[in-house]
Amino acid sequence: MKTLSSYPVPKWAPNLTGGGKLPPLVDKLTARVPSTATLLTWPLVLSGLILFLSFPTFAAYAPLTGVNQLWAGNTTNSPGQVGSHSGLGYHSCVLTSSGGVKCWGYNAYGEQGDNTTTTHYLPVVVQNSTNTGPLSGVSAIATGTSLTCALTSSGGVLCWGYNAYGQLGDNTTTARSLPVAVKDSAGTGLLSGVSAIATGGSHTCALTSSGGVQCWGLNSNGQLGDTTTTARSLPVEVQNSTNTGALSGVSAIATGYAYTCALTSSGGVLC
């Protein structure tokens, strides 16, 4: 009688991964499912009865390529830096070399910008504001706690996701699953002339081409720099240290969970 050892060890199909071992039906870390699969059959002998068992083989996933920036939705908020998560910050986004954006992870508030609130375990393409195609023309991105913002090549800002404190800057507190344009401080037009963006826990700031800073969103700790602790759903000008006018001479900005800092053109730092 033939035994199991009489049969050759099954081999994986050509061009498929597996390394000679059976893959899990579901990768518990990423919950990925195969894009294509075939069945591998091997015989099993039990008391002289030959049974044929079939197992799926999983196609290899191609790595994400063409990435210019990586952001993780957390409280440290530095490009390419993955820090400790806080609150609802469990998503990541990349800016592609073609000017598009892809996101994955937690999506309860639409922070992945694909017009859904479905958690995604693989990158999805962020759609444009009218949901007629992929978002394009993006020069920089930033993520906060369940929100994402994009700086466009024309100097405008688009945001999507959590918006309870007005951190999307569209003069509402409604969560958005598609990008919306940040409005100007008067709410009658769109914010323009922006050269850099930064997102905190629940607030967003923009560096203007003239060296000023405008912020919007949660302001419980004065992180908007307008001498108040009032949340804003439209951008407000950050004031200078003496509260005699708008802050100027800024060359870079950075945000934390509930604070904002500015690098001045003279090499100083204001927070």
Instruction: Record the tokens describing residue 39, joined without a space.
Output: 């069945």
Q: Is pLDDT at 268 greater than 50 in this prediction?
A: yes
CA pseudo-torsion sign 37, 38, 42, 43: positive
Domains of the chain: 4-58 (no CATH), 67-270 (2.130.10.30)
Q: Give residue-wise pLDDT tens across range 225-263.
A: 999 999 999 999 999 999 999 999 999 999 988 999 999
Mean pLDDT value across the chain: 80
Structure tokens at 52: 């044929």
The pair of structure tokens assigned to 78 is 């530095």
What is the structure's pLDDT at 156?
98
Q: In whole angstroms, what is the distance from residue 218 CA to residue 235 CA?
A: 11
- Residue 71's pLDDT is 67
Q: What is the pLDDT of residue 31?
A: 34
Residue for token digits 């060359």?
251
pLDDT in tens, 83-135: 323 334 588 999 999 999 999 999 999 999 999 999 999 999 999 999 999 99
Q: Could you give the 3-state DSSP secondary structure of residue 17?
A: coil
Count of residues making up the chain: 271
Taking only the tens place, the pLDDT of each residue in 49-83 is: 655 555 555 556 677 788 877 766 654 433 333 33
Which band of pLDDT confidence, cut at 50, 70 and 90, is reported for residue 15?
very low
Rounded-to-integer distance, Cα 151 and Cα 168, Å: 13
Helix H, strand E, coil C: the string for 172-226 is CCCCEEEEEECECCCCCCECCCEEEEEECCCEEEEEECCCCEEEEECCCCCCCCC
| pTM for the full predicted model | 0.74
Q: Return the pLDDT at 68.
A: 74
CA distances from 36 to 56, 99, 102, 156 (A): 10, 29, 22, 40
Residue 11 has phi, psi (to 5 degrees) of -115, 150
